[in-house]
Amino acid sequence: MNVKTEMHSRLSLEEGIREWEEMTPRPADRWEMFEVVAREAIEEISAGRRVENVCEEILRDILEINISVPDMAWRSLLIAEAMNWASKEQWGMSSALYALKPYIVKEAAEAATLSGWGADGDIFYLFHEEAGEVSFHDPYGELKDLLGDEEKYPHQWCGVERQHLSHEILGDDDLRKEIALKARPSV
- Percent of the chain whose pLDDT exceeds 70: 80
**Alpha helix segments (H runs only) across the chain:** 3-23, 27-46, 51-57, 75-86, 101-111, 142-147, 166-171, 173-182
pLDDT, tens digit, 9 for 90 and up, residues 3-16: 444 444 444 555 65
Task: State pTM to two decimals.
Answer: 0.80
pLDDT for the residue numbered 33: 77
Q: Residue 15 burial by CB count (10 A; 0-12/13-18/19+): exposed, middle or buried?
A: exposed
Domain residue extents for the chain:
26-182
Whether the Cβ atoms of residue 127 and residue 115 lie closer than 8 Å to each other: yes
Residue 175: pLDDT over 90 = yes
